[in-house]
Amino acid sequence: MDELPLILVIEDEHAIQGIVDDALTEGGFATDILSSGEEALTLFLGGLKNYKALVTDVALKGRLSGWEVAAQIRETDPAFPIVYMSGAHADEWASKGVPNSIMLAKPFAPAQLVTAIAQLLNSVPPAAT
Amino acid sequence: MDELPLILVIEDEHAIQGIVDDALTEGGFATDILSSGEEALTLFLGGLKNYKALVTDVALKGRLSGWEVAAQIRETDPAFPIVYMSGAHADEWASKGVPNSIMLAKPFAPAQLVTAIAQLLNSVPPAAT
Amino acid sequence: MDELPLILVIEDEHAIQGIVDDALTEGGFATDILSSGEEALTLFLGGLKNYKALVTDVALKGRLSGWEVAAQIRETDPAFPIVYMSGAHADEWASKGVPNSIMLAKPFAPAQLVTAIAQLLNSVPPAAT
Amino acid sequence: MDELPLILVIEDEHAIQGIVDDALTEGGFATDILSSGEEALTLFLGGLKNYKALVTDVALKGRLSGWEVAAQIRETDPAFPIVYMSGAHADEWASKGVPNSIMLAKPFAPAQLVTAIAQLLNSVPPAAT
Amino acid sequence: MDELPLILVIEDEHAIQGIVDDALTEGGFATDILSSGEEALTLFLGGLKNYKALVTDVALKGRLSGWEVAAQIRETDPAFPIVYMSGAHADEWASKGVPNSIMLAKPFAPAQLVTAIAQLLNSVPPAAT
Amino acid sequence: MDELPLILVIEDEHAIQGIVDDALTEGGFATDILSSGEEALTLFLGGLKNYKALVTDVALKGRLSGWEVAAQIRETDPAFPIVYMSGAHADEWASKGVPNSIMLAKPFAPAQLVTAIAQLLNSVPPAAT
């Protein structure tokens, strides 16, 4: 068990990057943290790394919102675990989120993020490795 | 208990309209069945009737797909129960469906539709009446 | 499989007694229908019959409300399945209902009642018989 | 939607065969009913038909129990929906059943069987057809 | 994300106050810890702070039990997350607890408390902020 | 609350023993860690300690696999919480695991293990103590 499960994170605020990185690292995950959806999609679709889940802010500075990144990732991998983080847009989850995702309304505790990731990973049916 | 819970149905194939109508009526629901998303949205947004759930085919003849109708309804009522029916597009649910909805892949049994509606209605937290 | 699963029903309106009885009978259940909580508790605690679930109106004419009957039954059998039916009091479920129960807000379709009973019975862990 | 979802049933008592067949047919399913696990496995593994779920008695007259048939089917299709029916062996489900299955303790109402099948089918993630 | 989610805690044993406070603080929550239900209700109903969940011992020294505090809070906010902690009274949860709550039987690990809070917060549908 | 909830762990790789022990201890659990299923079963059936859950590797060096240990424990205690850990055998969970268990596919983060234990313990109905 040399590697750690790798989580793809999209967040453009520096302070929240730190909170998310600390919480996931302390929970035993590895992280790749990008500040735009375009970069994150490029990495995900490139397929060089075996990401296990996406944690994404909803409101991003680039062209793509967190809703759009999640929907594009789900077109490639329909069961991919998604956690959205949002301040002002939390009520859009019901109409713009994808099924079987979790929304964290800011402010949230780091333990909520770690539990959300674990809940989603633990309920994905296991695949042969 | 004079009225029956009213279900909004969008389906443009005549044969499936009949199956859905029979299943829901026999389960004790009332139905309004429309053949386009535009008509259904007009009725829903008009607010003259108290719809309890939406059952919609995904591939519709008009401009709006079932995904789009569901998303627009959820913007007005974030907890509104949605059941999608689909033949060829069932795998798009994970990226285009809304959270807390159910997808029925055709062919399905009428009992699956009735159970899906009941599951969604039974888990919505009760509101004062 | 000679016997049918027996459901204890408390309802004092004659018309709704008929709807509930028809729905459960058609679903393959047997019913004992009482019009007061006192009578129902006497039968339940008497232990002569092996009831599988309780369906109770919330507002009853006697001294006991449906909330109180359910709480007393759960003191004897902590996992006993409970379905409440209510018109005007549906929002009290969150504060007066018991855990792992289902609330049906009137008007409901008979299929919702049958599905609610089946959901609760199907998730109770099986005991030896 | 010409075909109906096809359910594979294993039951060696004639009377219960009839109850199960009536319940599923009325719910809109098609059924293949066999009286031994060996026959059912042969049909399932032969792959000529597209079965959607297995309903099996636990205690069977042949060499294979219902637990064993279910485990062998899950080796081929890890998400295949399973409903066990049992009189005297219901408490073995926790140690001999497969994950994400449902146990119906006899006597059960036909509506419990139909709801169990629908719950399992409705929660399987949809695949392209 | 300057503020932390604030949890209202009712516990009259000093040693357990410390365990609960450490667990929640380490998980990233803020806490208000009171030793009686009366004080906690006064704060909750006063509305000066935006509490996200209640963690309450069941057996309290004052007039109100944890069951009663939880029921009163749910009358004001029907979806408010509740975690009960109990030693000797754990089996009363099924008859005296509120729906959609979690009971922790003592002794429990701090991680169980943090996960319980996170599970309840993560499954509440998000509201606009 | 002097004692901590005690978790029985079966793992024969020294490095993973350390990871599991650290994760559970930091979450507030006590652990007994054995390297074979035979030893663990002897302890469990001896009844000297009050174990709350089993965490077991699937592939063990002795005669018994993790699947078999879990099935034997469930024959004694049908609701006992089980977490399997597996590298190469994760897809066997659907056919060899027990109902209401959780499978962690290696590599997993320590937080996934702690959340899995907490989810299973938190959903077991409380018993009198």
Least confident span in B87-91, C35-39, D11-15, D39-43? B87-91
- Is the pLDDT confidence value at F129 over 50? no
Angle at C111 between CA C107 and CA C112, to 5 degrees: 55
- Considering only alpha carbons, which residue of chain D is nearest residue F103? D99
Q: How confident is the model at residue E98 (pLDDT cuts 50, 70, 90)?
A: very high
Beta strands in B18-128 (DSSP E): 30-34, 51-57, 82-86, 102-105
Cα separation of E53 and E114, whole Å? 12
Average pLDDT for F13-41: 96
Amino acid type, E55 = V
Q: How confident is the model at residue F89 (pLDDT cuts 50, 70, 90)?
A: low
- Is D94 an 8 Å CB contact of chain F? yes
User: What is the model's pLDDT at position D90?
Assistant: 65
User: What is the model's pLDDT at position C126?
Assistant: 45
F6: number of Cβ within 10 Å: 17
- Is the pLDDT confidence value at E79 over 80? yes
Q: What residue ranges of chain B have pLDDT lower than 70?
A: 1-2, 89-90, 124-129
| Dihedral angle computed from the Cα positions of residues E34, E36, E37 and E43, in that order, rounded to the nearest 10 degrees | -40
Residue-wise pLDDT for F102-117, tens only, equals 999 999 999 999 999 9
- Considering only alpha carbons, which residue of chain F is nearest residue C125? F79
| Strand, helix or coil for residue C54 | strand
- Is the pLDDT confidence value at E11 over 50? yes
Distances (CA, A) of D127 to B86, B88, B106, D70, D124: 11, 9, 11, 22, 9
Residue-wise pLDDT for A91-125, tens only, equals 789 999 999 999 999 999 999 999 999 999 987 55
Cα separation of F28 and F99, whole Å? 26
Tokens of D98: 């497969």
- Is the pLDDT confidence value at A126 over 60? no
Q: Which C residues in the span 107-126 are in contact with F, Cβ-Cβ below 8 Å?
A: 125
- Higher local confidence (pLDDT), D68 or D90: D68
Cα separation of A93 and F3, whole Å? 42
Beta strands in A1-129 (DSSP E): 6-10, 30-34, 51-57, 82-86, 102-105
Burial B103-122 (b: 16+ CB within 10 A, else e): bbbbbbbbbbbbbbbbbbbb
User: What is the model's pLDDT at position E1?
Assistant: 66
Backbone angles phi, psi at B2, to 5 degrees: -75, -40
Burial D38-53 (b: 16+ CB within 10 A, else e): eebbeebeeeeeebbb
Q: Between chains, do A86 and E3 touch, taking CB under 8 Å as contact?
A: no
F34: number of Cβ within 10 Å: 21
Q: Between chains, do C118 and D106 touch, taking CB under 8 Å as contact?
A: no
Query: Cis omega (within 30 of 0) on the bond before E107?
Result: yes
User: What is the model's pLDDT at position F1?
Assistant: 66
User: What is the model's pLDDT at position E128?
Assistant: 35
Tokens of F4: 């901590």
**Contact exists between F and B (3 or more beta carbon pairs < 8 Å):** no
Burial C37-70 (b: 16+ CB within 10 A, else e): beebbeebeeeeeebbbbbbbbebeeebbbbebb
User: What is the model's pLDDT at position B126?
Assistant: 44
- Is D79 an 8 Å CB contact of chain A? yes
- Is the pLDDT confidence value at E129 over 60? no
Kindly state the DSSP code that residue C126 receives in the 8-state scheme.
P
Q: What is the 3-state secondary structure (H, E, C) of F46-115?
A: HCCCCEEEEEEECCCCCCCCHHHHHHHHHHHCCCCCEEEEECCCHHHHHHHCCCCCEEEECCCCHHHHHH
- Is B64 an 8 Å CB contact of chain D? no
Nearby residues of E94 by Cβ (< 8 Å), 6 or more positions away: C74, C78, C79, C98, C99, C100, F125, F126
- Is the pLDDT confidence value at E70 over 60? yes
Beta-bridge partner residues of D51: D6
Q: How confident is the model at residue E124 (pLDDT cuts 50, 70, 90)?
A: low
List of chain D residues whose C-beta atoms are within 8 Å of the C-beta of residue B119: 119, 122
Average pLDDT for F41-51: 95
Number of H helices, E strands in chain A: 5, 5
- Is the pLDDT confidence value at F52 over 70? yes
Average pLDDT for C42-60: 95
Nearby residues of B79 by Cβ (< 8 Å), 6 or more positions away: A94, B100, B124, B125, E125
Distances (CA, A) of C57 to A25, B125, F75: 51, 17, 39
Closest by alpha carbon to F101, among F119, F89, F75, F125?
A: F119
DSSP D55-73: EEESS-SSSS-HHHHHHHH
Tokens of B74: 């959820």
Average pLDDT for D48-54: 95
Query: Is the Cβ–Cβ distance between B83 and B55 less than 8 Å?
Result: yes
Nearby residues of C110 by Cβ (< 8 Å), 6 or more positions away: B27, B28, C19, C20, C22, C23, C26
Tokens of F75: 């024959």
- Considering only alpha carbons, which residue of chain D is nearest residue C119? D115
- Is C72 an 8 Å CB contact of chain E? yes
Nearby residues of E102 by Cβ (< 8 Å), 6 or more positions away: E82, E83, E84, E116, E119, E120, F122
Q: Between chains, do E108 and F119 touch, taking CB under 8 Å as contact?
A: no
Q: How confident is the model at residue C128 (pLDDT cuts 50, 70, 90)?
A: very low
Tokens of E100: 């959609």
- Is the pLDDT confidence value at E116 over 50? yes
Angle at F60 between CA F59 and CA F62, to 5 degrees: 140
Nearby residues of F87 by Cβ (< 8 Å), 6 or more positions away: A1, A129, F59, F105, F106
- Is the pLDDT confidence value at D127 over 70? no
- Is E25 an 8 Å CB contact of chain A? no
- Is the pLDDT confidence value at C124 over 80? no
Distances (CA, A) of F99 to A124, D55, D67, D103, F72: 15, 17, 12, 10, 13
CA D117 to chain centre: 8
- ipTM, two decimals, is 0.89
Closest by alpha carbon to A16, among A89, A104, A91, A80?
A: A104
- Is the pLDDT confidence value at C54 over 90? yes
Angle between helices A66-76 and A37-46 (to 10 degrees): 10
Q: Between chains, do D112 and C121 touch, taking CB under 8 Å as contact?
A: yes
Query: Is the Cβ–Cβ distance between C97 and C74 less than 8 Å?
Result: no
- Considering only alpha carbons, which residue of chain E is nearest residue B123? E100
Least confident span in A94-98, D1-5, E34-38? D1-5
* Average pLDDT across chain E, whole number: 91
- Is the pLDDT confidence value at C86 over 70? yes
Tokens of D115: 């709801």
**In chain F, % of residues over pLDDT 90:** 81
How far C84 CA sits from the closest chain B CA (Å)?
Answer: 11
Query: Is the Cβ–Cβ distance between F122 and D127 less than 8 Å?
Result: no
Closest by alpha carbon to E105, among E58, E52, E62?
A: E58
List of chain C residues whose C-beta atoms are within 8 Å of the C-beta of residue F125: 78-79
